[in-house]
Amino acid sequence: MSYADANRRSTDEPDDFWGEAAKGIDWEVAPTAILDDSRPPFYRWFTGASLNTCYNALDRHVDAGRAEQVALIHHSPVTESVRRYTYRELRDETARFAGVLAGLGVERGDRVVIYMPMVPEAVVAMLACARLGAVHSVVFGGFASKELASRIDDAEPKVVVSASCGIESGRTIDYKPLLDGALEQAEHRVDSSIVLQRDACRATLLPGRDLDWCVAMADADPHPCVPVAATDPLYILYTSGTTGAPKGIVRDNGGHAVALHWSMRNVYGVKPGEVFWAASDIGWVVGHSYIVYGPLLHGNTTVLYEGKPVGTPDPGAFWRVVAEHRVATMFTAPTAFRVIKQHDHAGEWIDKFDLSSLRALFLAGERCDPDTLAWAEERLRVPVIDHWWQTESGWPMTAKCLGLDDARVKPGSAGRPVPGWDLQVLDERGTPVPRGEIGEIVCRLPLPPGSLPTLWRAEERYRERYLTKFEGHYQTDDAGYIDEEGYVFVMSRLDDIINVAGHRLSTGAMEEVLDEHPAVSEAAVIGVHDELKGQLPVGLLVLESDTSAPANEVVREVVAMMRERIGPVASFKQAVVVERLPKTRSGKILRKTMRQLADGEAVTVPPTIEAPEVLDEVRAALADLGYPR
CA 104, 288, 588, 549 dihedral sign is positive
Quickly count: other Cβ atoms within 10 Å of residue 403's Cβ: 18
Which pLDDT band, with edges at 50, 70 and 90, does 240 fall under?
A: low
- Is the domain spanning 501-624 CATH 3.30.300.30? The answer is yes
DSSP label at 11? H
Extents of the domains making up the chain: 501-624
pLDDT at site 142? 77
pLDDT at site 495? 72
DSSP label at 22? G
Q: Average per-residue pLDDT in the chain?
A: 94
DSSP label at 517? S
Minimal CA–CA distance to 539: which of 563, 550, 548? 563
Q: Please compute the mean of the pLDDT values over residues 241-270 and round it to a whole number.
A: 89
Reported residue count of the chain is 629
pLDDT at site 140? 86
Mapping DSSP onto H, E and C, the string for 69-135 reads CEEEEEEECCCCEEEEEEHHHHHHHHHHHHHHHHHCCCCCCCEEEEECCCCHHHHHHHHHHHHHCCE
Buried b (16+ CB within 10 A) or exposed e, 156-180: bbbbbbbbbbbbbeeeeeebbebbb
Q: Please compute the mean of the pLDDT values over residues 193-199 and round it to a whole number.
A: 97
Q: What is the pLDDT of residues 416-459, one digit of tens each?
A: 999 999 999 999 899 999 999 999 999 999 999 999 999 999 99
Give 544-557 as a DSSP string: -TT----HHHHHHH
pLDDT at site 246? 81
Task: Determine the Cα–Cα distance for residues 131 and 95; give it in Å rounded to an integer.
Answer: 8
Task: Determine the Cα–Cα distance for residues 496 and 507; give it in Å rounded to an integer.
Answer: 6
pLDDT at site 244? 58
Q: What is the pLDDT of residues 466-503, one digit of tens each?
A: 999 999 999 999 999 999 999 999 988 777 778 887 67
**Higher local confidence (pLDDT), 20 or 170:** 20
Whether the per-residue pLDDT at 51 is higher than 60: the answer is: yes
Beta bridge partners of 196: 163
The alpha carbon of 59 is separated from its chain's Cα centroid by a whole number of angstroms, namely 27
Q: Where are the alpha helices (DSSP H) in 479-550?
A: 507-515
pLDDT at site 422? 98
Sequence-ordered list of residues with C-beta below 8 angstroms from that of 181, at least 6 positions apart, any chain: 145, 149
Secondary element (H or E) of residue 137: strand 135-138
Which pLDDT band, with edges at 50, 70 and 90, does 188 fall under?
A: very high
pLDDT at site 502? 67
Task: Determine the Cα–Cα distance for residues 9 and 16; give it in Å rounded to an integer.
Answer: 8
The alpha carbon of 313 is separated from its chain's Cα centroid by a whole number of angstroms, namely 24
Percent of the chain with pLDDT over 70: 99
pTM of the entire predicted model: 0.88
Task: Determine the Cα–Cα distance for residues 495 and 574; give it in Å rounded to an integer.
Answer: 20
Q: Quick one: angle between helices 14-21 and 3-12, nearest 10?
A: 120
> Is residue 295 a contact partner of residue 260, using CB atoms and an 8 Å limit?
no
pLDDT at site 265? 98
Q: Residue 383 to residues 317, 378, 411, 610: CA-CA distances in angstroms? A: 20, 10, 11, 29
Q: What is the pLDDT of residues 333-356, one digit of tens each?
A: 988 998 899 899 999 999 999 999
Q: What is the pLDDT of residues 263-301, one digit of tens each?
A: 999 999 999 999 999 999 999 999 999 999 999 999 999
